[in-house]
Structure 1
Amino acid sequence: MCEHVAFIVSGVIRVAKIGENGKEVNLYRVCRGESCVLTISSVLSHSPFPATAIVEEDAEAIIVPKDTFTTMMATNTQLQTFVYDMMMNRFMAMMQMIEHIVFEKMDKRLIEFLLDRCKINKTNMIEMTHEHIAIELGTAREVVSRILKQLEREGYVQLARGKIKIVDKERLCDKFATM
């Protein structure tokens, strides 16, 4: 059970579920100005924290003891609204993630991930292992490696250890649009 609620001031915390077999799937990230909805749920329901929190970028947080947080939730409508909005946003994001996993083919999801990373990083070079990508997408490393190898054979990407270079971003966008 969680004893505190953390409100992130800076940094990034990744929240993941790790199965008994060691497979890991990312649920969401907690960034500046946010708190972990699973922590809040654990505190409010007096139940165990059902995931693992991993610091991705050095983080600073305001730590609120569970008793103080519970009292604040009962009396502070601004905090209630903040928490409910945050929970709704996480719920909607989780629904979208489930839709992607269930209804979209993995090659399309991987291409979308690569294009998003290019946009976020403002470069065509993605420095990330196949294992890390697999965790992000909730699949096996072998699946990611097989699809990336196919994309390399087709001339969309170049692969190197821990790096993926998008060779022809426009063609890759076109491929994504027709999937």
Structure 2
Amino acid sequence: MEFKDYFPVWDQLTAEQKKKLSEHIICRTAKKGDVIHSGDSDCLGLLLIRKGQLRAFILSDEGREITIYRLLDMDICLFSASCMMHSIQFEITIEAEKDTDFWIIPADVYKEIMAQSAPLANYTNEIMAARFSEVMWLIEQILWKSFDKRLARFLLDESSLEGSSVLKITHETIGNHLGSAREVVTRMLRYFQNEGIVKLSRGKIEILSPHRLESLCSDL
């Protein structure tokens, strides 16, 4: 499949706009663990995921991470082109959670076409609204939801994403996703294990009772 098959508003662009995009997009591949964009780097451009999985997170002054969203096949990331959005005040880091193929759309090219195309402008606003909704949801969870509920939801979401009840993930990685210390994650997972909800082994978590996890986070 080609770029046009992944770009939702391709058919609503003019021939000239399609040509300009085609001439300037850049194909890239990232290996698992690669940092594609960091908050203090130059403006990279917009990312359109062909295949793989990226993670966008923010980093505190103390070095603690928290995931704000993930990017899967056909998702697009605007915050890697922060120079296009001068009102964005927080710095985002994007890394590959899996080997990932993606396109980079230069920010100046995208901005030029967006100024000419109402469909592209509307699409961009929809993405922006969706991303900020995810950030607001995250803030609500951190402020108002207990950690056991947040961890239960994370395990269920991760199981759905991976299509497996056995998760190959470390306690430190979970802590990075949830903005919590590894020790806090370990204590809660051990509690889940004692309750027969999960089974822990080195580098793995097996979900034994997804129904009890659902019950834990049913009010999320």
TM over 0.5: yes
Counterpart position of 1:150: 191
Structure 1 vs Structure 2: percent identity of aligned residues? 33
Q: 1:111 to 1:44 in 2, by over 3 A?
A: closer
Q: What are structure 1's unaligned runs of at least 5 residues?
A: none
Q: What are structure 2's unaligned runs of at least 5 residues?
A: 1-41
Counterpart position of 1:168: 209
Q: How many residues align?
A: 179
Equivalences for 1:79-98 in 2 at 5 Å? 79-98=120-139
Q: 1:32 to 1:158 in 2, by over 3 A?
A: closer
What amino acid is the match of 1:26? T
Q: 1:103 to 1:58 in 2, by over 3 A?
A: same
Query: Is residue 69 of structure 2 the alignment partner of residue 28 of structure 1?
Result: yes
Q: Report the secondary structure of 1:27's partner residue.
A: strand
Higher mean displacement: 161-170 or 46-55: 46-55
Counterpart position of 1:7: 48
Counterpart position of 2:60: 19
Task: Say which structure is richer in helix.
Answer: 1
Report the Cα distance in structure 2 between the residues aligned to 1:169 and 1:152, rounded to whole angstroms: 13
Alignment match of 2:157 (pick from 110, 116, 119)? 116
Given the two structures, how large is their TM-score scaled by the length of structure 1?
A: 0.86
Instruction: Name the Cα RMSD after superposition.
Output: 2.5
Given the two structures, how large is their TM-score scaled by the length of structure 2?
A: 0.71
Residues 198 and 208 in structure 2, CA contact (< 8 A), matched pair in contact too: yes
Cα deviation code 1:122-175 (max 9, x no counterpart): 332121111111111121111110111111122222111111122233344344
Report the Cα distance in structure 2 between the residues aligned to 1:168 and 1:34, rounded to whole angstroms: 31
- CA drift of 1:86 comes to 0.4
Residues 2 and 48 in structure 1, CA contact (< 8 A), matched pair in contact too: no
